[in-house]
Amino acid sequence: MNHRRSFLKSALAAALAAPLAPRLGAAPVSERILKPRRLAPGATVGLVSPASATFVTEELEIVKETVQALGLKPKLGAHVLDRYGYLAGRDEDRAADINAMFRDPSVDAVLCVRGGWGCNRILPLLDYAAIAAHPKILLGYSDITSLLNGIHAKTGLVTFHGPVGASTWNAFSLDSLRRILFKGEALTLENPKVLGDNLAFTKDRVRTITPGRASGRLLGGNLTVLAAMLGSEYLPEWSGAILFLEDTNENVYRIDRMLTQLKIAGVLGRLSGFVFGRCTNCTPGDGHGSLTLEEVLNDHVRPLKVPAWYGSMIGHIENKFTVPVGIRAQIDAERGSIAMLEPAVG
């Protein structure tokens, strides 16, 4: 009996002293980082529809022409124009297109045609071993947040929060995309400062929540999508990360609810820095007693006592940054800048 008690005490002491084993897909990303190859003229881009359906075929033609205008070759997924209700085909078919593009040696990057809804449904169907064995650029935003974070968590692959195929590909958006994905620059993302005919800046302003600088891994995307992924194995480890968020068409009380969800799930308390991009058409609602978005951000973010700011060119807007998910970066909350500390591509 004494031997058994001694053994149990020793086992308990060892268990308490040992670090907790990371959950599936949440090993420190810094130990497993994978960078895709940069884009070169003539590279092939696989077009996939992992979320909502494309109802007007002309839109896909425009996406193909956009890719060609970039000096790249589009390659359509087998199910890119499928429809299953509001989804771009059955779950297994949408996942099959992504798996096929990563396995295909002729494909250099994967561009999602549009967001909407549906990516969370296919996360269990992706071939993460094949994705890790064939690291490629994956680009998109909004509902594509699921893929960007799920694939990064499972494989360590750096992914890219940027335009989808159906986005507006204007000069502003192309600037950061070209410099990050084609030239391999470690870029500093900072809002433009253009007075125009005004005496003060009226557009693209930055609001500091908590001043200071912070360094960490860039993680994030659409707030609604990330909140819907909590509790799953498809989110990365948040400790020391810089979280960037954006959203659209949500009443302020819903933003409050989702930030509360991140808080009580233990995400916000582990961050080294925080950036909120744009919340497009996020209104206080009908009631006169509503909190404003500014008040909600102050309530949730200021108590964190980490550098934080609001207003980055990230989100459902025409002029948008391409933001790498998983690389080291430094933010300056007073300047309103995100400085990449390393290239995101090899």
Catalytic residues: 142, 246, 316
DSSP labels for 211-274? -SEEEEEEEEEEHHHHHHHTTSSSS---TT-EEEEEEES--HHHHHHHHHHHHHTTSGGG-SEE
- What are the beta bridge partners of residue 332? 213, 337
156 vs 325: CA distance, rounded Å: 10
Nearest to 320 by CA among 139, 88, 75, 54: 139
Residue 37 and residue 108 in contact, taking contact as beta carbons nearer than 8 Å:
yes
Q: Which residues of 69-105 are buried (b: 16+ CB within 10 A; e: fewer)?
A: ebebbbbbbebbbbeeeebbbebebbbbbbbbbbeee
Residue type (1 letter), 168? T
15 vs 303: CA distance, rounded Å: 33
Hey, how many other C-beta atoms are within 10 angstroms of the C-beta on 106?
Answer: 10
Residue 63 and residue 165 in contact, taking contact as beta carbons nearer than 8 Å:
yes
C-alpha atoms less than 13 angstroms from C-alpha of 114 in its C-beta half-sphere = 18
**H helix runs in the chain, sequence order:** 2-17, 57-69, 91-103, 119-122, 128-133, 145-155, 171-177, 223-229, 252-264, 293-301
Q: Which H helix or E strand runs over 341? A: none
276 vs 35: CA distance, rounded Å: 25
331: helix, strand or coil: strand
